[in-house]
Chains A and B, each alone.
Chain A
């Protein structure tokens, strides 16, 4: 999976959580929580969806890796290499 595809997967999952989410002015290097209507339960939804789609088990101590769109892509790129 390319970095662009991973980014689209993350945005698709967020859109599924909140279809009103506005990605127009999203800064990929700023925390998603500061820019979108997302809280800790929503992040667990992202983790669960990645588990369902790709059987990824993300340990709790690595959740901070999902804080920005760029860090999501960096963290997931090696894990989704074979998809």
Chain B
């Protein structure tokens, strides 16, 4: 039986993704369960080699090479993920009006890559700005990736970016959920994108901060919670979900990956880069409260931990504070496999966990050889997957610089319990 409340319940019905180790959800899940990292090494302008996650996907599957060349790497990733998500959802836009479809894309930053490239370009012409490209502004406006998606799909509803540092993927998911609940749109494409491996500046800044991972074997460089962790592995990537109201999803017989039952965002209000466990705990607590759940109701926590010394410790403090008495809550970290996909991180990591509602497995945190005492959480699933009887809920953490925190809770959807 459907009821009026189903109009406010928001479900995930499609997933499109580009990760450093996969370009669709089935492949991604397989790689996560087998603990296969495909982090490689990148040779950066001015800087040299660094470990990084690079995506290989069918770049011309949904638009011409000419359009990819004119647009941005973020736009290219976005167009691929958006088309894959819409196809995965089985939506041909006969059931949704394109003018009532919204595109909400989370970005950690945008324009850094394009600006660096253009400064390099004019350096070849004695810094004569007559050689600065006319493509600079349309490429660097903050709505660029979302806008490129609307142009490609002919979507005429609202599109914009949500800037929320590395919490941006979750933030866009929350934005889409809210817009559906408000009735602003009927169908939403929400997710996050990062093109940042093409920016030497992002790598150099993390290195200057002492937060860029180093390891002779790039596949072992991303090692959250491990005593030998030494920083972040930067990755590019993207993930877009299609969101619908439950009543309309059921009406068209959509396959439902899960229901967004709780979310929260808050601010540390204290430091530019150092995370703060106290506030992260408050964020998770608020998401639980909104979902009407207690900590014991959470089956999987996908941690944000990036592999920095203090960041991982702070999140562990937060998790310990809320989930200390939850023997059936299991903790993983997806960045150990794919690195830190910045604006795409939250949504990519959530996507990687969604199939657990079907296979009831928790994919492992890899590269965890010696657990740091300060990261000692009893439920960490390390190096091999854990089979459970049933996965009911996933809590997805994503935090970012300048003190931004987010937590999203997705619940298993069982139609027979309606």
Q: In the complex, A45 Cα to B131 Cα: how many Å?
A: 11
**Is B125 an interface position by the 8 A CB rule?**
yes
**Cβ contact within 8 Å between B66 and A52:** no
Is the CB–CB distance between B134 and A19 below 8 Å?
A: no
- B70 near A41: Cβ-Cβ < 8 Å: yes
**In-complex Cβ contact of B66 among A17, A48, A51, A57 (8 A):** A17
A37 at the interface (CB under 8 A from B): yes
| Chain A residues whose CB sits within 8 angstroms of the CB of B125 once the complex forms | 52
B134 contacts A52, C-beta separation under 8 Å: no
| A19-B65 contact, Cβ under 8 Å, with A41-B70, A41-B135, A52-B125 | yes
Q: CA–CA, A37 to B133, complex, Å?
A: 20
CB–CB A37/B66 < 8 A: yes
Compute how far the CA of A48 lies from the CA of B122 in the bound complex, rounded to whole angstroms: 12
For residue A45, which residues in chain B have a CB less than 8 angstroms away from its CB? 134
Residue of A nearest to B138 (CB): A41
| CB-CB nearest in chain A for B121 | A52
Q: Complex formed: what's the CA distance from A57 to B134 in Å?
A: 15
**Is B65 a contact partner of A48 (Cβ separation < 8 A)?**
no
- What string of 1s and 0s marks CB contacts (under 8 Å) between A31-53 and chain B? 00000010001001100100110
The reply to whether B70 and A20 contact each other, CB–CB distance below 8 Å, is: no
Set of chain A residues within 8 Å of B131, measured between Cβ atoms: 48, 51-52
Contact, CB under 8 Å: B65 / A20: yes
Q: Which residues of B contact A41 (CB under 8 A)?
A: 70, 134-135
Smallest Cβ-Cβ distance to B64: which chain A residue: A20
Q: Which residues of A lie under 8 Å from residue B130 when comparing CB positions?
A: 51, 57
Q: Which residues of B sit under 8 angstroms from A52, Cβ to Cβ?
A: 125, 131
- Tell me the bound Cα distance from A52 to B131 in angstroms: 7
Q: Verify if A22 is at the interface (C-beta below 8 Å from B).
A: no
Q: Which residues of B contact A17 (CB under 8 A)?
A: 66, 69
- Residues of chain B with a CB closer than 8 A to A19's CB: 65-66
User: Which B-chain residue is minimally distant from A17 (CB atoms)?
Assistant: B66
In-complex Cβ contact of B133 among A20, A48, A57 (8 A): A48
Min distance, Cβ B141 to any Cβ of chain A, angstroms: 14
Q: How far is the CB of A11 from chain B (nearest CB, A)?
A: 15
| CB closest residue in chain A, given B60 | A20
Instruction: Report the minimum CB–CB distance from A59 to chain B (whole Å).
Output: 12
**Separation of A17 and B65 alpha carbons in the complex (Å):** 9
Which chain B residues in 52-92 approach chain A with CB under 8 Å? 64-66, 69-70
Q: Chain A's nearest CB lies how many Å from the CB of B136?
A: 12
Q: Does A18 reach chain B (CB closer than 8 Å)?
A: yes
Complex Cα distance, B66 from A17, in Å, reads: 6
Q: Are B65 and A44 closer than 8 Å at their CB atoms?
A: no
User: Which residues of chain B are near A37, meaning CB under 8 Å?
Assistant: 66
Encode A8-24 as 1/0 by CB contact (under 8 A) with B.
00000000011110000
Contact of A48 among B64, B69, B134 (CB under 8 A): B134
Within 8 A of B (CB), among A43-71: 44-45, 48, 51-52, 57
CA A48 – CA B70 in complex, angstroms? 14
Residue of A nearest to B133 (CB): A48
Interface string of B116-140 (1 = CB under 8 A from A): 0000000001000011011100000
For B133, what are the chain A residues with a Cβ–Cβ distance below 8 Å? 48
- Shortest distance in angstroms between A18's beta carbon and chain B's nearest beta carbon? 4
Complexed CA–CA distance, A48 and B132 (Å): 9
For the complex, give the distance between the alpha carbons of A20 and B65 in Å.
8
Provide 15 A-B residue pairs closer than 8 Å at the C-beta atoms, listed in order of the A residue. A17-B66, A17-B69, A18-B65, A19-B65, A19-B66, A20-B64, A20-B66, A37-B66, A41-B135, A44-B134, A48-B133, A51-B130, A52-B125, A52-B131, A57-B130
Those 7 A-B pairs whose CB atoms lie nearest each other, nearest first? A18-B66, A44-B134, A19-B65, A20-B64, A52-B131, A41-B134, A17-B66
